[in-house]
Amino acid sequence: MSWSKLKQQLESFLCPALYGRVEYRASSYRYLPDKSGNCYISVDKKNILNMNDRTSSIRWYQTEQEIKNDSDLQIPINHEDIEAVRKDSKGIIPEDRLIIIARSRKISVVAKELLSAQTSLSKSNFIVTATKYLSISIEESLESDDILLNILALVDRRVGKKRMLNMSEKMKLKHPIVQYFYELRRSTL
């Protein structure tokens, strides 16, 4: 599918309040085959997500330790996480330490997911992911670990107000760029 056709289809699914504010842009180099070009998602004419550049306004993580030490990242811990630690330790760890260990384990898992998700952002991957997005259900896109699928689903008109409000806890575990688009969409409700 050509870029113009793909862009037209993606923009047809945009939420009415975001139409004109969120744009999909791409540049390519016809005479330089080794350059893949860039792909952007811009909000209010400002490039928010540049698929090839780590200098965008959204925080990109380089290592797992950066994620673990980020105080802005809130990881909710539930009873099952604490019970899993208790079971692994055979009940010899004090309660307050169980919470710390459970949080550390969950942060490690989230860190690995965030790093793997952000490593695959490129123009060619955007086109593949956007084409996939057009062929799968909105629920699959929202539940996916793929950053681009999450973003495309969050700005989609098929995601209603009630569903947006109900997914606030899930969004805390997502990449900061996904959280940005979630807040952008919530601001239109």
Mean pLDDT of the chain: 82
For 92-148, what is each residue's pLDDT tens digit?
A: 888 888 888 888 888 888 877 777 666 656 556 778 888 899 999 999 999 988 888
* Rounded average pLDDT over 48-53: 70
How many whole angstroms separate alpha carbon 58 and alpha carbon 178?
Answer: 10
List the one residue out of 56, 3, 53 whose CA is nearest residue 27.
3
Quick one: which H or E segment has residue 27?
A: strand 22-27
What predicted TM-score, i.e. pTM, was given to this entire model? 0.69
- Percent of the chain beyond pLDDT 90? 29
Q: What is the pLDDT, as a whole number, of residue 150?
A: 92
Q: What residues contact residue 174 under an 8 Å CB cut-off, 6+ apart?
A: 147, 150, 182
State both tokens at 178.
Answer: 């996904």
